[in-house]
Structure formats: structure tokens, C-alpha cells
Amino acid sequence: MEISVSTAARIAKCSPDTVTRWIEEGAIEAWRISKRGWWRIDRASLGRYLERQLEKTESENNANSARNSRAARSF
């Protein structure tokens, strides 16, 4: 299913400029639909990207929790 940049931004709770940056970085699959530069985004690709970001954030939070736990024990 294809979605617009604005719809992707609402799903991801970010600005359309951020979604466009993800497209330009190759993080999500999209294609231009006009010479004016409008994009259509593969919704599944957006979902995979957001899932990877969530996993990355969770693993960073777990690493920080372990680090904080060790620091608290040292006092």
C-alpha cells in the first residue's frame, strides 16, 4: 500500500520534512509521482523503519539502565 508524505508523518508522529529526509537517506522506500517532487511511500517500508528505530531505542535504554544500575551500586 502506498501513502503520502503527510500520512507517513502522521503515522510516525514527526514532520513531513523528517519523512522526506528519511526518503533521501534511503531509510524508507518511496518513489516520485510527479515532476514537482511529490512522493509516495511504501507503508510496509515505513513500518519496518519505525520498528528498527524502536528496537534501537529500546536496546539503548536497556544499556543505559544497566550502566545506571552499576553506577548506583558503586556508591
Return the pLDDT at 47: 97
CATH number of the domain enclosing 9: 1.10.1660
Per-residue pLDDT of the chain (75 residues; tens, 9 = 90+): 999 999 999 999 999 999 999 999 999 999 999 888 899 999 999 999 999 999 998 888 877 765 565 555 554
Return the pLDDT at 73: 57
- The pTM assigned to this predicted structure is 0.76
The range of the structural domain enclosing residue 12 comes to 2-73
Return the pLDDT at 4: 97
Neighbours of 57 (CB within 10 A): 10
Return the pLDDT at 9: 98
Number of compact structural domains in the chain:
1
Dihedral of the CA atoms 8, 11, 14, 16 (nearest 10)? 20
